Structure 1
Amino acid sequence: MPMVGEEGQGVTNGRCEERGVGSLFSSSFTTYPITVKFTDICYRIKLQEKMGPNSSGSIKRLLGGRKPDQMMMEERTILNGITGLVSPGEILAILGPSGSGKSTLLNVLAGRLQGSYTGTVLANGRTMTKPILRRSGFVTQDDILYPHLTVKETLVFCSLLRLPKTLSNKEKVRVAESVISELGLGKCENTIIGNTFVRGVSGGERKRVCIGHEMLVDPSLLILDEPTSGLDSTAAYRLVSTLGTLAKKGKTLVTSMHQPSSRVYQMFDSVLLLSEGRCLYFGKGSDAMDYFASVGFVPSFPMNPADFMLDLANGVAQVESQGDTEKPNNIKQALVVSYNSLLAPKVKAFIDADTYRLPKGSLRSSEEDKRSNGWFTQFTILLHRSLKERRHEAFNSLRVFQVVAAAVLAGSMWWHSDMRNVHDRLGLLFFISIFWGVFPSFNAVFTFPQERAIFMKERSSGMYTLSSYFMARLAGDLPMELILPTAFITICYWMAGLRPDVGSFLLTLLVLLGYVLVAQGLGLALGAAIMDAKQASTMATIAMLAFLLTGGFYVQKVPACMTWLKYTSFTFYCYKLLIQVQYGVGEATALLGCAHHGKGSKVACGFIEEDISPMVSVAALVIMFVGYRLLAYAALRRMKV
């Protein structure tokens, strides 16, 4: 069968086989078909329910006399005794309504469930080892991709990171091109992925790119969570046709589906129907309707088997024998009883009788040692990817306009200000401190929360180390963080007529760039620690308000209990350095008339005369620069992958 892209472009199997992914792995990977058995899978979670003050006396007594607003634990069953099997060359479809446990079961099979479950999952008769899991692909329900990278860039970068170091970069690029051809993505390979706000490839193409992510390692087992979600019936059919072609090459496929069309349903080899964590059917897809007819459930008119099974799982099926008289719980309970008494013993006997001989050349730990790229290679690839992805965001026209407009406005307000008008110049220097403290810190707050999903996905696949990602992310942000403030100070400095020598300008620029990097570090630390953009923004607002109020321009006599806050404020040290570059202590105090009683500003004089050397201010900024980033790294290390 030819594989057809969404645009109608045909890609023949001959071409795919000629440039197949597997042929490029011959030197590093051995064909390794996987048969997966899962037996009596049970998973329960504990929910906390807070008892309010209006709870009844019986609940109060149940709590043993404790206060009713204490927490109460309730256990909920997500999966209850699920058993099944899928062999190489087959597609197992897990059907069921929302909340039936489909995604949880897939996470169990993929070894990604956070929490303990009971039951066994075996691959070729053995427990799922790390080498086997590394030969498994997992496609999540959400399309987690960088929106500004093209299809080819996305798959090439993934190939460079995931494939073993025994392959050259040219070979890795060939693997990516082969996957593009195999999945029918050739026509859109130079189109960006896009998202809700940026126009890119279609939904079906985006889903195939996600599948391509996992196809790069030529997986023996491919698990997909709702791959047709959000696609129309035609796009869904084309996607499942692609999966069918992959299965015919000896791969084992397990996928969940919410409501497949009849054409899609016909491509499933086996079907597992779930309802509220219980199994209602497991067996061949073609035998499902005969089984339900044998237990008294026949549709009143010809319909899609998947639709009928979903109705049964919801307990709302209209059947010939009883119409709508049965209650939903009665229908589901009857199906559970029928499965346990009639089908479950046959399924268990079939699974127990199934034996699978391990192929020659099974995966060994030595392959795991060959697969990883070095730290510097990971850093280089991630930095290149970060620069490509961030080039649109870094120099977004609106952001550039914001910076240039602020610089021109400030330069116009302080146009060629008099050197002797110290009050006005102090205001300008503090405005610069305010703008370049708030601007980078609030932008950096969103860095890690926005990338959390893709970071978790790639880290769970073992694509790179945390340190290489972190350092590449910091280095990739430098162009935006350093070029825009350089443009700002270049415009504003000369318009405002600050000290007109190159040395003072360069010192002012260096102070500002260092200050920007420290402010960015604060945003990174808050974003990584909280991992919620809104909450992190709120905390950044509070922190910046505290730093600005203690920065030395507004308040001089800070209460004794709050004095320490001043020395944690990077705005305080930046403002101090900017004044020292422009005036120095002696010149500023002389111009302000600090030595004459009743003259000058006591606030300004007190701040300028405060005995803090430039080296102390520089050292404080360096410590904050390093410290904030160490806090961000430590927060990322605490995240469970």
Structure 2
Amino acid sequence: MQFSEVKYRVAVKGTPREILSGISGSASPGEVLAMMGPSGSGKTTLLSMLGGRATAADGCISYNDEPFGKSLKRRIGFVTQDDVLFTHLTVKETLTYAALLRLPRTMTREQKKERAMDIIYELGLERCQDTMIGGSFVRGVSGGERKRVCIGNEIIINPSLLFLDEPTSGLDSTTALRIVQLLHDIAETGKTVITTIHQPSSRLFHKFDKLILLGRGSLLYFGKTAEAMPYFSSIGCNPLIAMNPAEFLLDLANGNTNDVSVPSELDDKVHMENQNLQDTNSKINLRPSAQDVHEYLVDAYEHRVAYKEKKKLLAPLPISDDMKATITSSKREWGTNWCQQYSILFCRGLKERRHDYLSWMRITQVIATSIILGLLWWHSDPTTPKGLQDQAGLLFFIAVFWGFFPVFTAIFTFPQERAMLNKERAADMYKLSAYFLARTTSDLPLDLFLPVIFMVIVYFMAGLKASAMRFFLSMLTVFLSIIAAQVWQSKLVQSYNQCP
């Protein structure tokens, strides 16, 4: 994979702001390329562009001189920084559904399930395969296991390119080392692994084959990781105390030179500035500013390394046979047909949302509300005008209650659903129409269970007419209220997706 002079801009209050300014580099099969830099330096932005999740303003991103396109999506794995997983699915279910949706249709259902089990054993997840993923309110797997499940979701398709955004974020050093070792094992099979990392330990730092150091959107270093410290030593930047090489590089990228030897060029510049400050009776600064350090590092890289590295980019990189077939094919292929996508998403929706819809809290709420209503309208008499008016008020309350009750669940569900939908659609796992219909129909059986219990209690406690036809007509009214609420939820999702 090669990228040259990649630039990215955003508009801030109508003024263009450059996030990345001319980043160049390459990664070959069998290599692990790490992107380092302070927060806000543009690591995630660059990774998103390399993975096809964002479009560069200028520059060229290619694999063996071929541009990226939709046909390459099925050969690319992209692990986001946030662990976007369904809370109530187990590890085995999560990877199995990913295999059923993403693996090619030439494989049988049993072969796809076997592939999911192979990934579970490959990632060392066999002990927790039947454990729920978990979340804020649900006990589940550990942070390291969650991250391995996210990686498993992507490597299950045997991608030629694997992108990871902060895979060690929030993990202890031992777990982080295990994750990086896993990435090395993946790269050794002939894959290209590109990852961002914030502040690795010294053991992690030396595990990477190549390194990109970013600072304020500019390229400060690109090359072999083992050659990074000698390079900065050659331009006069050395640590004054024993420290982690990653910390030293991040200090330089931040412009912090408190524990770093300052090159003579910067020393001379500081002395000249101090003389000017003395003339104006201003405060004297004995250390170079962060801006001066940044400009020096950018200029040093451009004059010492950039030309040589850009010349290497002109040579084509090796390319695997499966990626060759993918590049030459411009046809967009789905792992399964529409009907299979619908059935898989329908089953997954039932398994995931049954815990929310049929939780003991919701069942208790519905039963308690129905009993209270039954007591308030206990055997109301429909033969009198007052009793008839009371029953009309009860029916209105029931319709309104079941029009708004499902909405409260949706308010807490849609943010997670949106993140999952964006992630899976970016990987071309299914068609949007299959998702929408499966999402709607999988809710119907769950939406009918609690209203039936509710109506059985209220209908006979309130003394409504004991007729099968009238009971089912009342149930139909409640069901239509729920459908209307779902339509309103769809409008809510649409407006939510349009928000920036």
TM-score for both structures, normalised by structure 2: 0.91
Alignment partner, residue 295 of structure 1 = 235
Report how far residue 413 of structure 1 moved.
0.8
Matched to 1:505, the amino acid is F
Supply the distance in 1 between the matched residues of 2:136 and 2:473 (Cα, whole angstroms): 43
Matched to 2:420, the amino acid is I
The alpha-carbon distance between structure 1 residues 43 and 400, as it changes in their structure 2 partners (threshold 3 A), is same
Report how far residue 349 of structure 1 moved.
1.9
Alignment partner, residue 171 of structure 2 = 231
- Pair 1:331-2:331 in alignment: no
Alignment partner, residue 464 of structure 2 = 498
Alignment deviations for residues 107-163 of structure 1 (CA, whole Å, 9 cap, x no partner): 1111110x4421111101222233333211111111000011111100000000001
Q: Which runs of 5+ in 1 are unaligned?
A: 1-35, 49-72, 532-635
**SS class of match (2:211):** strand
Point out the structure with max Rg over C-alpha: 1
Report how far residue 185 of structure 1 moved.
1.2
Supply the distance in 2 between the matched residues of 1:263 and 1:359 (Cα, whole angstroms): 30
Matched to 1:423, the amino acid is Q
Alignment deviations for residues 330-355 of structure 1 (CA, whole Å, 9 cap, x no partner): 11111111111111111112222x33
The alpha-carbon distance between structure 1 residues 74 and 392, as it changes in their structure 2 partners (threshold 3 A), is same
**1:348 is matched with which residue: 263, 287, 310?**
310
**1:83 is matched with which residue: 7, 21, 24?**
24
TM-score for both structures, normalised by structure 1: 0.71
Alignment partner, residue 88 of structure 2 = 148
**2:216 is matched with which residue: 270, 276, 301?**
276
Alignment partner, residue 479 of structure 2 = 513
The alpha-carbon distance between structure 1 residues 260 and 341, as it changes in their structure 2 partners (threshold 3 A), is same
Alignment partner, residue 386 of structure 1 = 349
Alignment partner, residue 340 of structure 2 = 377
Supply the distance in 2 between the matched residues of 1:369 and 1:308 (Cα, whole angstroms): 45
> Which sits farther off after the overlay, 426-435 or 278-287?
426-435
- Pair 1:42-2:42 in alignment: no
> Which sits farther off after the overlay, 368-377 or 168-177?
368-377
Supply the distance in 2 between the matched residues of 1:480 and 1:243 (Cα, whole angstroms): 41
Alignment partner, residue 107 of structure 2 = 167
The alpha-carbon distance between structure 1 residues 524 and 360, as it changes in their structure 2 partners (threshold 3 A), is closer
Supply the distance in 2 between the matched residues of 1:183 and 1:209 (Cα, whole angstroms): 8
Supply the distance in 2 between the matched residues of 1:377 and 1:258 (Cα, whole angstroms): 40
**SS class of match (2:256):** coil
Alignment partner, residue 146 of structure 2 = 206
Supply the distance in 1 between the matched residues of 2:406 and 2:46 (Cα, whole angstroms): 43
Supply the distance in 2 between the matched residues of 1:146 and 1:358 (Cα, whole angstroms): 35
Supply the distance in 2 between the matched residues of 1:429 and 1:130 (Cα, whole angstroms): 53
Matched to 2:480, the amino acid is G
* Aligned ranges 1:84-483 → 2 under 5 Å: 84-113=25-54, 115-317=55-257, 318-321=259-262, 325-352=287-314, 354-356=315-317, 358=319, 360=321, 362-364=324-326, 368=331, 371-419=334-382, 420=384, 421-483=387-449
Alignment deviations for residues 153-177 of structure 1 (CA, whole Å, 9 cap, x no partner): 0000000000111100000011111
Is this contact kept in 2: 1:443–1:523, CA < 8 A?
no
The alpha-carbon distance between structure 1 residues 77 and 367, as it changes in their structure 2 partners (threshold 3 A), is closer
Q: Number of residue pairs matched? A: 473
Supply the distance in 2 between the matched residues of 1:447 and 1:82 (Cα, whole angstroms): 39
Computed over aligned residues only, the root mean square deviation of the Cα atoms, in angstroms, reads 1.9
**SS class of match (1:94):** strand
Is this contact kept in 1: 2:75–2:161, CA < 8 A?
yes
Alignment deviations for residues 408-439 of structure 1 (CA, whole Å, 9 cap, x no partner): 00110111111222222222222222212221
Supply the distance in 2 between the matched residues of 1:132 and 1:294 (Cα, whole angstroms): 40
Report how far residue 471 of structure 1 moved.
0.8
- Pair 1:528-2:469 in alignment: no
Supply the distance in 1 between the matched residues of 2:448 and 2:38 (Cα, whole angstroms): 51
Supply the distance in 1 between the matched residues of 2:412 and 2:494 (Cα, whole angstroms): 12
Q: Which runs of 5+ in 2 are unaligned?
A: 268-285
Report how far residue 312 of structure 1 moved.
0.4
Report how far residue 368 of structure 1 moved.
5.0
Report how far residue 367 of structure 1 moved.
9.1
The alpha-carbon distance between structure 1 residues 360 and 417, as it changes in their structure 2 partners (threshold 3 A), is closer
Supply the distance in 1 between the matched residues of 2:186 and 2:318 (Cα, whole angstroms): 22
**SS class of match (1:98):** coil
Supply the distance in 1 between the matched residues of 2:305 and 2:245 (Cα, whole angstroms): 18
Report how far residue 502 of structure 1 moved.
2.3
The alpha-carbon distance between structure 1 residues 184 and 133, as it changes in their structure 2 partners (threshold 3 A), is same
